[in-house]
A = this chain, B = another copy of it.
Amino acid sequence: VSRSAPLDDAAKLDALLQALRARGQRVTVARRAVLEQLIAAGASHLGAEQLAERVHEHHPTIHLSTIYRTLDSLDDAGLIHLARLPDQPAAYHLTDDVHHHALCTSCGRVVDVPPSMLDPLVDRLRSDYDFRADPHHLTIDGVCGNCERSARRSRRSTS
């Protein structure tokens, strides 16, 4: 862990494929291709359809239903996590890119929130509810600063 702190993509892919094998799952073209795209996507999520599009650039024959099945497998293996945003198809991201979302219900903007932000909540759930929270992906509704301010502005001019 000396100078390549962010594992380069090829190494990451290898690690993920090994994890797959370790879980008894087979390494196939489709699975490799999907993982490649998820790695390339970094912190952003991809849905099945979007993954299909990108995968097709190199492997046009991989069927959409295979993408769905692949995502199931990867999820079973714990390599990816589901992120559901309202009014959007299911999207996935690699497990090692954990983060949460603050969704502005006014402008729709999504802000990434680091997992540490949830620590107090996690602690209290453990102590008060005997519950081991492992929040993979939360979406918290609210209003971002910009929208707050413009709402206040227009309220002032309207009244």
Which residues of A come within 8 Å of B, CB atoms? 82, 84, 86, 102, 104-105, 111, 113, 117-118, 120-121, 124-125, 128-136, 138-145, 148
Contact = CB atoms under 8 A, between A and B. Distances in A.
Contacts of A125: 102, 113, 117, 140, 142
Given A102-B125, A120-B121, A121-B120, A132 B111 contact: no
Nearest to A125: B102
A86 B138 CA distance: 12
A93 B145 CA distance: 28
Q: What is the interface of chain A mostly: helix, strand, loop, or mixed?
A: mixed
Nearest to A121: B121
A130 B145 contact: yes
Contacts of A145: 130-132
B136 A132 contact: no
A135 B141 contact: yes
B130 A141 contact: no
Contacts of A139: 138
A142 B125 CA distance: 10
B86 A133 contact: no
